[in-house]
Amino acid sequence: MTPTAARKVVVLDYGFGNVRSAVRALERVGADVELTADRRAALEADGLVVPGVGAFAAVNEGLRGIGGDAIIDRRLAGGRPVLGICVGLQVMFDASAEPGAGDQEGLGQWPGTVERLAADVVPHMGWSTVQASAGSTLFAGVEDERFYFVHSYGVQRWELVDTTGGNVEPPAVTWAEHGGRFVAAVENGPLSATQFHPEKSGDAGARLLRNWVDSLS
């Protein structure tokens, strides 16, 4: 029997951020990984990972600077999987209240605004459990595990309204708490994203990444 070929995953390189850890983590779970900003490679890969470290405005500008917004749009229009990580989740929303973001628009894949966490201690830094959505693909087998977060801002309301009359499977939204509830992960058709860093979340993060890689077709 011929072995199954490894899934090709591109980690989108827009010029900054600690992306090497994401590359190594994906390689460890069996993906064939390339770190690149090349449009063709990003479009043709089985999966695209959009990492994000730092400020919303800088990540947003960096992505747009390499045409990442158009790459993401085109992949999603064709049902091709995309995974955002940390600020890579935040930029999928409409906007951010983070200083420096100003009137800058996010990628607008989901409605909503990224807001400062309502907690006495910010940033939220360390290991936290999540309330995984029932039937989640990403969290299969790790629903009760802890994941590593580093952030001061988050999405605290899920605002996407189902206009299909129930004809489309609703997004799986996973929550966590730090001073209040915030979105820890979303699985919405081909677009998934996590506020935490799976590549820094030990065995639980590795299992989550394996679940995502195994779901690629």
As annotated, the active-site residues are 86, 197, 199
Q: What is the DSSP letter of 66?
A: T
Instruction: Decide if 153 contacts 112 (C-beta within 8 A).
Output: no
Contacts of residue 163, Cβ cutoff 8 Å, sequence gap at least 6: none
What whole-number distance in Å separates Cα of residue 33 and Cα of residue 49? 10
Question: What letter would DSSP give residue 131?
Answer: B
Both tokens assigned to 38: 């090349």
Helix, strand, or coil here: 88?
helix
- DSSP letter, residue 138: T
Going along the chain, which residue ranges are E strands? 8-12, 32-36, 47-50, 82-85, 93-96, 110-116, 124-129, 146-151, 153-155, 172-177, 181-188, 191-194
- Pairing, β 93-96 against β 110-116: parallel
